[in-house]
A and B are shown apart, each in its own frame.
Chain A
């Protein structure tokens, strides 16, 4: 190998890893800033209470982002997951109050999520439309269903009455579930065909197909995995307060997208996708939520600061290499 090739390789290495570098750096900067600065304001993030708040703030987003990795790796996204969380939480509360156990609500949610995953995964191949379109349709349908349900209930907010849901408020339990999901997804992503096929499909579906990958089958599996994780996230969303409302889950699909971009995930998916991006992004976002008020940022200014940080990360990660590569 001559030096010419070596330089190309180094350039490519930096180019392909700049996403990860920027994202890890972002999380690190957040941790450092929020460790050093809050003590000047008489606060600290390193207390049991604050860390518990952090975990309960991050849990739903992290569970969903990690689950969404497969779909984002395909280069797709799902706009319906916010409404899905709302519907699952509502079903769990209603059925829970009727039967006295959460089990049936969770099972029904799983069945619905499988059905939605099947539709979103298959439409792209069968109808030749971008799956985001079908997810928009599903979002609208679920929004309509939820609106009818709350209308019939005559209330905008419903709570669990007899069921003990304290376990879902326990930060240790949250951590255990999150770590378990993370391990399973990481394993599937890195040590089975599933992750490797998803990356190949996201990078180049023609090559993937000509290498013997059944596109429709693996796209559906990716959506099913996400659906499963969304149900798990819904349990914690519902379980934190033991209630659901007609606004539960609103905007979650955007939060997942923001977390993944902050984490360094390329929106086009493909070979550079990694599970760690989801977890980094979710934690960075939550650290900002918890940390910014501690350093004197007023709650109504948090959005602006988050927007600025988001722009900076996007500018770093989206920069394309300039000039001609040697030919």
Chain B
């Protein structure tokens, strides 16, 4: 029955030691709902659903599912009962096949005479994948064949069974390509049509407004309010939601407000006919005081361009020139004043179990070492200056980066290159998985960098961000640039998308 209560949490409480993650919240999910759950990092939105799906237990309160008391001990038990959660982090088992991943823990289904019939398992996996309209992934392939985005899809496939009544999607879309997202959107709408329930946790306001039919906003472990579809569609809804999330006006200013795409005209970086991998004869000029954006689907080759400029990719032909010198490796790039903010923040940009200070000073150690001595005071001074400029929330520079929230981690990644005083900064998805407060801070930082005459290459999958920030936008498809746009108030996402797909 539509609108029947499917899941209910009453006075749900969660504490970690002295810390309160959830303050006695009441949460209801009805059949047919696609309920968006939004809030800043650490607001408790993931916590509610991770308790419902058996990942952790509540400190207090009760849960009811289909009218009965609900207290799953494990995620497997919850999934058997019908509540599945797709997690934010990568959660596939490496070095085995796709089918083994999909049926992990359920291998007994394919057992005959004590041996698992792999053929049967591969076939069943392909059938499920077909059902989700995922034709390019096959059950018998090793999972390592597939990219991070595709593995995320496999995780989704694993979570959703016929008996699944509630699907929880926890910030999964940031890890998906555009095609992957479409598959996920189709799935959640189908589930809602079948009178099942979906909880959709995301930072991306556009997708929340487009796909959810009701919304709950959290802040500091408390539910601040609910919005109906009508309220979500009303004028100024985004502003209202942001206000609810942050608890203060974050102001009108978000993206750049000027539409002036002029720059100094002085060349900062040049890519001359570079070829490597599937990229052929790629050209690009970046000027001082210019923000160039590259947009496209995740597999279009734009991330590889960023890596190549930083000297990580080996070129088969062509040159990357800065200040009349060729860049061959990251060391050349850094010495010539290029900084690179990797898309894979936790694995390529930051050492998680190192302190904020150790991360920030790492590229600058060369400059800090004088007469074979690095003065710890100088290291601290540099770190403290960056913590202050970027407003990194921490108790000191000695704090481990792994204890920071996603937004603050990203600030540390920025800080490395600001501390190094790099003149050219390549940013690959700099605002991925970052909440609005931090996003706003980063956009104003990027704008300020432009004013200081720095050259910026912004690679992003978020079109609104590219339209809002860049002077010149290159759209890529299949490893080639398909279209170039200049900054304009009239530029719309819909004009761009046709060149991407």
CB atoms of B400 and A192 under 8 A apart: no
CB atoms of A192 and B16 under 8 A apart: no
CB atoms of B354 and A203 under 8 A apart: yes
Contact flag A211-B334 (CB < 8 Å), given A203-B353, A326-B19: yes
Bound-complex Cα distance A204 to B342 (A): 14
Give the most central of B16, B47, B347, B376: most A CB within 10 Å. Answer: B16
The answer to whether the Cβ of A300 comes within 8 Å of any Cβ in the partner chain is no
CB atoms of B18 and A211 under 8 A apart: no
* Number of residues from B at the complex interface, CB < 8 A: 51
Contact flag A271-B353 (CB < 8 Å), given A192-B369, A192-B372, A210-B310: yes
Partner of A4, one of B16, B361, B373: B16
Contact flag A214-B402 (CB < 8 Å), given A192-B372, A206-B347: no
The answer to whether the Cβ of A151 comes within 8 Å of any Cβ in the partner chain is no
CB atoms of B354 and A209 under 8 A apart: no
Contact flag A212-B334 (CB < 8 Å), given A3-B18, A204-B351: yes
Closest to B87 in A: A327
Encode B302-317 as 1/0 by CB contact (under 8 A) with A.
0000000010100000
Which residues of B from 361 to 381 have beta carbons under 8 Å from A? 361-363, 365-366, 369, 372-374, 376
The answer to whether the Cβ of B328 comes within 8 Å of any Cβ in the partner chain is no
Encode B56-83 as 1/0 by CB contact (under 8 A) with A.
1000000000000000000000000000
CB atoms of A2 and B358 under 8 A apart: no
Contacts of A327 in B (CB 8 A): 46-47, 50, 88
The answer to whether the Cβ of B55 comes within 8 Å of any Cβ in the partner chain is yes
Contact flag A2-B19 (CB < 8 Å), given A209-B330, A211-B416: yes
Closest to B393 in A: A1
CB atoms of B374 and A196 under 8 A apart: yes
CB atoms of A9 and B366 under 8 A apart: no
Encode A208-237 as 1/0 by CB contact (under 8 A) with B.
111111100000000000000000000000
CB atoms of B16 and A212 under 8 A apart: no
The answer to whether the Cβ of A169 comes within 8 Å of any Cβ in the partner chain is no
Contacts of A204 in B (CB 8 A): 347, 351-352
Contact flag A271-B358 (CB < 8 Å), given A197-B365, A212-B330, A212-B366: yes
CB atoms of A193 and B366 under 8 A apart: yes
Bound-complex Cα distance A5 to B392 (A): 13
Contacts of A324 in B (CB 8 A): 55-56
CB atoms of A4 and B354 under 8 A apart: no
CB atoms of B348 and A212 under 8 A apart: no
Contact residue range for chain A?
35 or more
Closest to B342 in A: A210
Contacts of B372 in A (CB 8 A): 192
Contacts of A8 in B (CB 8 A): 403
Contacts of A199 in B (CB 8 A): 354, 358
Bound-complex Cα distance A9 to B20 (A): 15
Partner of B358, one of A4, A191, A196: A196
CB atoms of A7 and B17 under 8 A apart: yes
Bound-complex Cα distance A222 to B312 (A): 24
Secondary structure class of chain B's binding surface, majority of residues: mixed
Contact flag A210-B47 (CB < 8 Å), given A3-B19, A16-B400: no
Contact flag A211-B403 (CB < 8 Å), given A4-B20, A200-B354, A203-B351: no
The answer to whether the Cβ of B350 comes within 8 Å of any Cβ in the partner chain is yes
Contacts of B342 in A (CB 8 A): 210
Bound-complex Cα distance A323 to B17 (A): 13
The answer to whether the Cβ of B443 comes within 8 Å of any Cβ in the partner chain is no
The answer to whether the Cβ of A270 comes within 8 Å of any Cβ in the partner chain is yes
Contacts of A210 in B (CB 8 A): 310, 312, 330, 340, 342, 348-349
Contacts of A211 in B (CB 8 A): 330, 334, 362-363, 416
Contacts of A197 in B (CB 8 A): 365
Distance from B346 Cβ to chain A, minimum over Cβ atoms (Å):
10
Contacts of A209 in B (CB 8 A): 312, 330
Contacts of A214 in B (CB 8 A): 331
Distance from A230 Cβ to chain B, minimum over Cβ atoms (Å):
23
Encode B17-55 as 1/0 by CB contact (under 8 A) with A.
111110000000000000000000010001100100001
The answer to whether the Cβ of B395 comes within 8 Å of any Cβ in the partner chain is yes
Bound-complex Cα distance A209 to B313 (A): 12
Bound-complex Cα distance A16 to B352 (A): 12
Bound-complex Cα distance A3 to B18 (A): 7
The answer to whether the Cβ of A12 comes within 8 Å of any Cβ in the partner chain is yes
Contacts of B331 in A (CB 8 A): 212-214
Bound-complex Cα distance A9 to B397 (A): 12
The answer to whether the Cβ of B448 comes within 8 Å of any Cβ in the partner chain is no
Give the most central of A210, A272, A324: most B CB within 10 Å. Answer: A210
Contact flag A12-B403 (CB < 8 Å), given A211-B363, A326-B19: yes
Which residues of B from 95 to 150 have beta carbons under 8 Å from A? none
A: residues with CB less than 8 A from B are 1-9, 12, 16, 191-193, 196-197, 199-200, 203-204, 206-214, 270-272, 323-324, 326-327
Q: Which 5 A-B pairs have the closest CB atoms?
A: A4-B19, A212-B334, A211-B362, A7-B17, A3-B19
Ordered by A's residue number, 7 sampled pairs between the chains whose C-beta atoms are within 8 Å are A1-B394, A4-B20, A5-B403, A191-B376, A192-B374, A212-B335, A327-B46
